[in-house]
Amino acid sequence: MEALGPVGVGIMVFLDNIFPPIPSELVLPLAGFTASQGQMNIVLAIVFATVGSLVGAVLLWALGKWIGIERIAFVAVKMPLVDVDDVHKTVDWFDRHGDKAVFFGRMIPIFRSLISIPAGMRDMRLPKFVLLTSVGSAIWNTILIVAGFALGENWSIVEEYAGYFQNLVIVAVAVFVIVWVVFKVRKQRRKKAAGLDMTEDDHIESGQFDS
């Protein structure tokens, strides 16, 4: 951290956006601790961390714009348990809450990287995306760097509690996925059952007509 300086902090945070296993929850508090030792300017650390976040987010936004909602819809409808309504509902939700999702998503582990892709898919205007991402990232980066600065030698406490937060997010996502799968499986079973009932009724009506 001392060797790379604020520029290195920006590079590491950029990689965190593209390659999540490099966690900013580790990099940023450590940068704050380094600043507390007089080895780094804390303001520059925050600035470069935010620039790194923004560059990574814009690249993912561009990826989402290139992919486009049409390609996603084409792939999604071919996936098991997914139908066109799911795609439309997701798009409608993002259209209603996209600004808040991008802003607050920058402060949530896992989602801070992924949220840039649907923003690009829905063609959110780049100036708005840059503004929301910059402000959200600046708040998150400032909190972690200042916490590391204030805690000094105990900076790793930030990583520990941030890890709890990330685990909570992962559990919440896992529960959501499980509930969604169960709901979809039951829905498909009801459709199949309804189809069988209709087929049986058709056979009965056909037999009565023939007789």
Q: How confident is the model at residue 209 (pLDDT cuts 50, 70, 90)?
A: very low
**pLDDT score, position 32:** 85
Looking at residue 159, its pLDDT comes to 64
Torsion (CA) 113, 96, 164, 143 in degrees, nearest 10: 70
**Which amino acid, 57?**
A
Average pLDDT over residues 168-192: 67
- pLDDT surpassing 90 at residue 178: no
The pLDDT tens digits of the residues spanning 5-42 come to 889 889 888 988 777 666 777 788 888 888 888 888 99
This model's pTM is above 0.85: no
Burial of 116 (0-12, 13-18, 19+ CB in 10 A): buried
DSSP 8-class letter at 79: S
Sequence-separated (6 or more) residues with CB below 8 Å from residue 153: 33
Sketch the domain layout of the chain as residue ranges.
Answer: 5-174
Q: Give the Å distances, CA to CA, from 43 to 3, 95, 149.
A: 17, 35, 11
Average pLDDT, the chain: 76
pLDDT(69) > 90: no
Q: What is the tens place of the pLDDT at every residue in 113-152?
A: 778 888 888 888 999 999 999 999 999 899 888 888 888 7
The answer to whether 147 and 32 have CB atoms below 8 angstroms apart is: yes
pLDDT band of 211, cuts 50, 70, 90? very low
CB 2 within 8 A of CB 9: no
In this predicted model, what pLDDT tens digit does every residue of 70-94 receive, in sequence order? Answer: 776 666 666 665 566 666 666 777 7
